[in-house]
């Protein structure tokens, strides 16, 4: 007799969702920082810790601590009292964040969400949206444009 394959139950599905959210949260801070550093480099030609602190509304000490973690992760390089530079991996993460943000924000705008709200909401959603959902959003936007 053939064995029946069972679909995962609601508790297993919720467990997987919670695990993914925890993983997303662990990289969210790094993604926000490298995206902001990339924006500062594009705008000003450099990124300094004081600029990062001002834009994020956090203390300089918080930025220093986070820069150390980002440096240990291979995402940034920095000498004391000098500009912050993104590594190749840091630029890759920043560009991926920008790509996700653009798609999510465009999708929210297409749904009729006000511009300011779409900008703010997409900042949080971009960290938790799956690639499958991003592809669906991009397809929707491509059809809407045509």
Provide the total of helices (H) and of strands (E) in the chain, helices listed first: 6, 2
140, pLDDT greater than 90: yes
Tokens of 66: 């986070």
Question: Mean pLDDT across the stretch 59-81?
Answer: 92
pLDDT band at 21 (very low <50, low <70, confident <90, very high): low
Q: Which residues contact 104 (CB under 8 A, 6 or more apart)?
A: 121, 122, 125, 126, 129, 134, 137
Q: Where are the domains of the chain?
A: 16-145
pLDDT band at 133 (very low <50, low <70, confident <90, very high): very high
Hey, what CATH topology would domain 16-145 get? Arc Repressor Mutant, subunit A (1.10.10)
98-112: pLDDT as tens digits: 999 999 999 999 999
3, pLDDT greater than 70: no
15, pLDDT greater than 90: no
Report the range of poorest mean pLDDT among 5-9, 59-63, 117-121: 5-9
Selected residue with higher pLDDT from 95 and 2: 95
User: Is the separation of the CB atoms in 42 and 56 below 8 Å?
Assistant: no
User: Is the separation of the CB atoms in 87 and 76 below 8 Å?
Assistant: yes
Question: Mean pLDDT across the stretch 55-79?
Answer: 94
74-101: pLDDT as tens digits: 999 998 778 999 999 999 999 999 999 9
Q: What is the mean pLDDT of the chain?
A: 87
Residue 6: per-residue pLDDT = 63
112-128: pLDDT as tens digits: 999 999 999 998 899 88
């Amino acid at each position: 007799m053939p064995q029946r394959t069972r679909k995962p139950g609601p508790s297993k599905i919720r467990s997987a969702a919670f695990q993914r959210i925890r993983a997303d949260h662990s990289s969210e801070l790094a993604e926000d920082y490298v995206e902001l550093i990339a924006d500062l480099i594009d705008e000003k030609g450099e990124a300094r810790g004081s600029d990062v602190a001002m834009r994020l509304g956090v203390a300089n000490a918080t930025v220093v601590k986070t820069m150390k973690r980002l440096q240990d992760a291979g995402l940034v390089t920095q000498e004391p009292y000098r500009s912050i530079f993104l590594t190749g991996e840091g630029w890759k993460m920043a560009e991926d964040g920008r790509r996700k943000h653009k798609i999510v924000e465009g999708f929210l705008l297409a749904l009729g969400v006000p511009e300011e709200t779409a900008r703010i909401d997409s900042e949080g959603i971009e960290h938790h949206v799956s690639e499958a959902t991003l592809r669906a959003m991009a397809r929707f936007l491509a059809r809407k444009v045509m």
